[in-house]
Amino acid sequence: MSKVNETPKKRTREEKKKLVVRIVAIFLAVLMVLGMAYYTIMILASAIHADAPAEQTEVLDTSSLKASGDVLISVGITYDATMTTAYAVTSESGFVLGSQELDGERRFEELWDLPGGTLVCASDDNLTESRGTYSIASRERDTDIGGYHLEIDCWDCEREDLEDLIDDNERTVNRMGYDLIPAYIDGYYMLRIGDFTSEEEAEEAMEELEDIFTGRRRMTVTGPTDTAVTVFDPDMREILFEYDCGGDTELGIAAEEDRRGNTYLTAPNGNIYDGVFAFRRVVTKDTDGVSVINIIPLEAYIAGVLPYETSNSWPIETQKAFAITVRSFSLTNMKSASKHWGHKFDLCTEVCCQVYRGAAKINRSVMEAVLDTEGMVMTYDDKIVVAFYVSSMGGVTISAQDAWGGAEDIPYLQPIETPWEDYMNHENAFWISEISPSALCDRLNLAGYKQLRDEIEDVEILEYAHDSTYIKTLRVTDIYGNRVDISPCDSVRISLTPYVKSSNFVIGRGSVEYTEDVVVQDSAKSSEQNAKPDEPETYGLDYAYMDLDDFYVITDEAEERTYFGDSVAVLTENGVIDYGKRDIFAIARQNADAFEGAYVLSPDDPVTEDGPSKYVTETVEDKTDGSKKTKIAHAENSDNFILVGKGWGHGVGMSQWGAFDLAVKGYTAREILEAYFRDIDIQDYLRTENYR
């Protein structure tokens, strides 16, 4: 009999239980097998990579740098065009708020403590928020944080008294919908209440609140001033502290020490800084914001410069030479000697002073270079030298007098030949550019030479710097015979930027003859480092360094010229981030792939036997010897001017790449410095005439 239509037998409750147990057991067994496989793989991976270096997840301990010396350097992080109404700063370990002197001994007096996280320091005014960015509110109804407060007179309070006053009244005031705000005003502790959009709103609140403090202290309404700053929590929009000492001193914010004794503050752009941030309120007819000034011990500052002016992977003797150079330059550009002293700081963070980005790239090599040369500077006649330096020289330097003019000749900044400098193989140390007669006129008009009216007919080198190939006087004539003489050397360079990187160049119409130096290996010295280390953090593109006035900002309402100077404030989802000139690039079809290291050809670019090349060059065999090659460069358009140049910078003092080349050959830091600066000595700055 067939069983096809037979009804299946139902499982008993006991059988169902056994089935569930079997399924769970199988599931657990599978999990156990997978887990064992996972841990086996992890153990094997650990064994394979046991010798691999661990990725650095935190900044190196640099606390030992803070105890060195007795000098504090002040560095302008934001000012003028880079200044914003509000500036965020982060510290995981907590904050110390205090009174910071910018003059004199630059003392920092602790006033208040706040827990870790992110704080915003801003102009004390009616503030409006948009996508994490704060600005002065144009209308009361747009205000998110008010600039008017009730102020309780506590001029006779010590810090403990103010803390007690807050503890006694905070719960009551909070229940009424207001916050208590500790403040330091004109040298005294004060207590402020609430953030109101107007004086009238504050007066209404005073009627409600004055009974709480009746008979104790006087309560008044206070409004925005041009010197007050406010500190608030950006998440809660709660004011945490206020400061106004009329500009005699500024609000200083430092981080609490972490477990290793470091005091790191993180800026909005991600840079990590040691020391104190001073927030200086600046109000002009065009802007209202806070200038941020980093007050930092000398040695910690030098360590924050080295990775960016050289590279933290360069030979240690190069880094030691630069530590001494940076220290010398810094100490001769302090306070009244500083071109930035009108902004109340010594040095800025860009190439016009020294590139400084804080502590993030300080490694053991940088620490060794700074600590091994601690306090050491170059001196001439027992005075600290003005230690200029540039990226590369191109075979020879120039005197400071030839570079910038002036009657005084500086003995230790004289022209020297640098045959060890392998500039042909270094980034941006050798360059070729081309410019049309009309574009050359436009460029010189922008540089201030308005006498030139049309296309340039002729360019003539009238004078070279003494004992150098740098051009000291350049004569330019347009098609109408209008003529200008450009001098001295650095004016030539600046006037023709970005088509030149130094005034060490030759120029011709359609073609020009030039030389390439052949560097001979110095067998008298040896070096353990034969391999070329990483290059410094620079952007080696002819079109990367541009005047930011050449950029435009396009909004939904208009196209506007930037006028940002040395940096651009960019609004992002994380707030406003300041990008320096060295971080800004213009990307177009012609240069997009160059950021990968390749040059993008235009349809008219010539092609040589070795492949595509923007410029055609040929060797002049009868002029080439063992130390030099003579070549001719041809422009794409024979009517254009072609420029072939060497070096990058003003040409005075030391070459970064030249110092690298000498260290690779085995030279010491002292020998490197003596190769570039004539008749100098090296000693502790505290023993110099400047400090005795």
How many CB atoms within 10 Å of residue 222? 20
How many CB atoms within 10 Å of residue 372? 13
Given the DSSP bridges, would you call strands 389-390 and 654-655 parallel, antiparallel or unpaired?
Answer: parallel
Do the Cβ atoms of 650 and 413 come closer than 8 Å? no
Do the Cβ atoms of 380 and 412 come closer than 8 Å? yes
In this prediction, residue 544 carries a pLDDT of: 30
d(CA 161, CA 217): 13
Q: Using the Cα atoms of residue 521, residue 527, residue 532 and residue 535 in order, give the sign of their dihedral.
A: negative
* Long-range Cβ pairs for the range 581-589 (8 Å, 24+): 581/350, 581/351, 581/545, 581/546, 581/548, 582/350, 582/351, 582/355, 582/538, 582/539, 582/544, 582/545, 584/546, 584/548, 584/551, 585/539, 585/541, 585/543, 585/544, 586/543, 586/546, 586/551
d(CA 306, CA 217): 54
In this prediction, residue 46 carries a pLDDT of: 38
CA atoms lying within 13 Å on the CB side of residue 615: 21
Q: Which residues contact 101 (CB under 8 A, 6 or more apart)?
A: 107, 108, 249
Q: If phi over 0 gives left and psi between -120 and 50 gives alpha, with beta otherwise, what is residue 378?
A: beta
Cα dihedral value 391, 396, 398, 403, nearest 10: -50
Q: Which residues contact 621 (CB under 8 A, 6 or more apart)?
A: none
The single-letter code of the amino acid at 504 is: N
φ, ψ at 377 (rounded to 5°): -135, 165
> Which parts of the chain register pLDDT below 70?
1-58, 67-69, 214-216, 520-614
- What interhelical angle do 489-496 and 437-446 show, nearest 10? 120
Q: Using the Cα atoms of residue 672, residue 678, residue 682 and residue 684 in order, give the sign of their dihedral.
A: negative
Spans of all domains in the chain: 82-296, 388-544+602-651
In this prediction, residue 212 carries a pLDDT of: 81
